[in-house]
Amino acid sequence: MVLVILFFYFNVYMFSLNRDMDFQDVIARSEQLDADRNAEQVTITNVVMTQSSGQIYITCILINNGSVPVQMARLWVQDNSLPQHNVVNLALITQPVLLQPGSRVVETCPPFFIEGAQYSDKFYLWFVTFRGNTFSITVN
């Protein structure tokens, strides 16, 4: 009878030990994701906006000042000179923008159209990374 009780106790103990190790692994991965997200640092410089055939083109330099690689997912553009319906969302997935630590990339974003917008208007740009961070700049 004692052996049966010890056998059950051992199985319960091993099960709880395995569950605890799984829990600790999930916590470690979550902490690493948070650390990576906090380590993303991108600077946007030299933004040039041009217009052709009603579409606006943006070229800028993205600099990764952080210690982890950064992949840009989307670009949001808002024309602050217009009263409403002035935001456009551009996907950067067709040409992935991957910045290694310490690197700089000249990025030409997909052209966009906002009714009534001119390239000389005041624009607010913000890039969104795959980790969910945003990096922004105001132009003009």
Could you report the per-residue pLDDT of 83-124, keeping only the tens digit for each?
877 888 888 766 778 899 999 998 888 888 888 888 888 999
What pLDDT is recorded for position 93? Answer: 66
CA distance 90 to 58: 11
For 104-108, the CB contacts below 8 A with 24+ separation are 104/61, 104/62, 104/63, 104/64, 105/61, 105/62, 106/59, 106/60, 106/61, 107/59, 107/60, 107/61, 107/62, 107/72, 108/57, 108/58, 108/59
Q: Which residues of the chain have pLDDT under 70?
A: 93-94
Q: Write down the pTM of the prediction.
A: 0.78
Cα 36 to Cα 25, 85, 100: the distances in Å are 17, 35, 13
